């Protein structure tokens, strides 16, 4: 298959337990919970997305004919730095395009593969680090992984029920609400959840705090 990439760039992973790591960030185009068009947001399953995943016109974006071509482009962005190559795959929804040939091609070039998914599709085999971020109103089928990231507050989700799923860590991340007042309320709600149940851990979008993509 070919791969539609919105953008790909070298940065620091900003979220979750892997935050702070040097990473090539690969964003697939397309999602199964929202078209990405503002006109469709009100009727979408996921209505709070703050990401542009439409098209292939972002930094280093484009269509790649083979898994080997895409993996080579990621390796070129990483460069000759001697540490373990680390790739964060996201979207949109990456499981719409991430397939075993691409996982194999990335592993051959020495990449550790981390994936951020909404969990509505089964995880592709071979992923090294799996983060699932459930969205209210969706049917999550991937209920096991390395970390669960709950964007909060999110009406329609019971945080206590998520703790029955099989994850190594349970993270709560304040929703980016678009205004400072609303963002402050989201931070307070996330902190309150952690303080009410120590199985949760606070996660912040540190790349935004640092002015990174």
Tell me the C-alpha to C-alpha distance, in Å, between residue 61 and each of 37, 118, 138.
Answer: 19, 22, 28
Of these residues, 15, 49, 90, 146, which one is catalytic?
49
Kindly name the residue from 25, 53, 111, 167 that is annotated as catalytic.
Answer: 25
Catalytic residue among 35, 48, 112, 207: 207
Catalytic member of 7, 15, 28, 31: 31
Contact indicator for 67, 3 with CB cutoff of 8 Å: yes
Q: Which is the catalytic residue, given 50, 57, 59, 197?
A: 50
Give the integer Cα–Cα distance in Å for 138 and 45: 7
Q: From the candidates 11, 35, 51, 206, which is the catalytic residue?
A: 51
- Active-site residue, from 7, 15, 93, 116: 116
Task: For residue 177, indicate whether it is catalytic.
Answer: no
Radius of gyration of the CA atoms of the chain, in A: 17
Relative orientation angle of helices 67-78 and 100-108, to the nearest 10 degrees: 40
107 catalytic per annotation: no
Known active-site residue 53? no
**What does the buried/exposed string (b/e) look like for 148-161 if buried means 16 or more CB atoms within 10 Å of the residue's CB?**
bbbbbbbeebebee
Active site annotation includes 25 = yes
The single residue of 7, 15, 28, 46 carrying the catalytic annotation is 46
The question of whether 51 is a catalytic residue gets the answer yes
- Pairing mode, if any, of strands 3-12 and 62-64? antiparallel
Residue 31 among the catalytic residues: yes
Q: How far apart are CA 101 and CA 82, in angstroms?
A: 25
Active site residues per annotation: 25, 31, 46, 49-51, 116, 207
């Amino acid at each position: 298959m070919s791969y539609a990439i919105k953008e790909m760039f070298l940065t620091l992973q900003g979220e979750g337990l892997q935050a702070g790591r040097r990473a090539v960030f690969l964003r697939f185009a397309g999602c199964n919970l929202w078209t990405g068009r503002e006109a469709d947001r009100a009727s979408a399953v996921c209505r709070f997305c703050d990401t542009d995943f439409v098209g292939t016109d972002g930094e280093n974006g484009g269509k790649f004919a083979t898994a080997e071509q895409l993996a080579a482009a990621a390796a070129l962005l990483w460069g000759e730095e001697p540490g373990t190559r680390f790739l964060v795959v996201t979207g949109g929804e990456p499981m719409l395009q991430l397939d075993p040939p691409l996982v194999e091609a990335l592993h051959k070039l020495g990449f550790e593969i981390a994936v951020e998914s909404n969990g509505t599709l089964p995880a592709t085999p071979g992923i090294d680090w799996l983060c699932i971020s459930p969205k209210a109103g969706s049917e999550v089928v991937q209920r096991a992984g390395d970390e669960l990231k709950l964007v909060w507050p999110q009406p329609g989700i019971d945080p206590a029920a998520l703790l029955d799923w099989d994850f190594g860590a349970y993270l709560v991340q304040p929703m980016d609400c678009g205004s400072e007042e609303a963002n402050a309320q989201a931070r307070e709600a996330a902190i309150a959840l952690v303080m009410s149940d120590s199985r949760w851990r606070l996660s912040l979008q540190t790349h935004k705090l640092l002015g990174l993509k």
